[in-house]
Amino acid sequence: MTRPANPRQKDFFDGLARRWDSVTRHDPAKVGEIADSLELSPSHRVLDVGTGTGVMVPFYERTVTQGGIVAIDYSENMIEVCREKFPAPEHPHTEFRVADLYGFDDPDGFDRIVCYSCFPHFPDQPEAISRLSRMLRPNGKLAVAHSSSRDTINRVHTEAGEEVCMDFLPPATETASMM
């Protein structure tokens, strides 16, 4: 699905960053299942797109001990929260970057690319998939995952305010056809 970018969307996430972990719920069992499905290895290089406050980071870090984790978000405040939660000296294989997916590139590529609970917020979803696919290494995997149902996600966004009210998760078949 393609729609015009909403300039107020970034402000929405910047404004919620400090409260994000207390106003959203991510079932650790479901998040763990998502991480397990990635079949990570210690040497993998992982890109966590739209990392928010780093919900997936501890799950990657259980396995990725030699490769690296690059977590990006276009919200400066979300990345600031990540850096506070996961200080570099204690998380040497994880790097947090302020970056907009549509301008992000990494010539080294990634073994796993994960869009956890962020895909509805991409204004040009097919282009997002295309950009991410080009960064995959051979035999890499791209995952679009959520720990809530599509109906729940779309309802929450509709009720959340004008900044995200048009941010919908398409049916799985539509998302798959983009890949």
Residue 134 counted as domain residue? yes
Give the 3-state secondary structure of residue 80: helix
Tell me the mean pLDDT in the region 151-160: 64
Residue 48 counted as domain residue? yes
Please give the residue range of the domain that contains residue 128.
7-173
pLDDT averaged over every residue in the chain: 86
E-state strands within 20-109: 45-49, 68-73, 94-98
- pTM of this prediction? 0.88
Structural domain tally of the chain? 1
Residue 2 counted as domain residue? no
Residue 50 counted as domain residue? yes
Question: Which tokens in the block code for residue 160?
Answer: 């959340």
Residue 1 counted as domain residue? no
For residue 164, give Cα distances in angstroms to 54, 118, 135, 140, 179. Answer: 20, 11, 27, 30, 24
Residue 89 counted as domain residue? yes
Residue 126 counted as domain residue? yes
Tell me the mean pLDDT in the region 11-15: 82
Here the CATH number for the domain that contains residue 168 is: 3.40.50.150
pLDDT digits 0-9 by tens, 58-117: 999 999 999 999 999 999 999 999 999 999 999 999 999 999 999 899 999 999 999 998
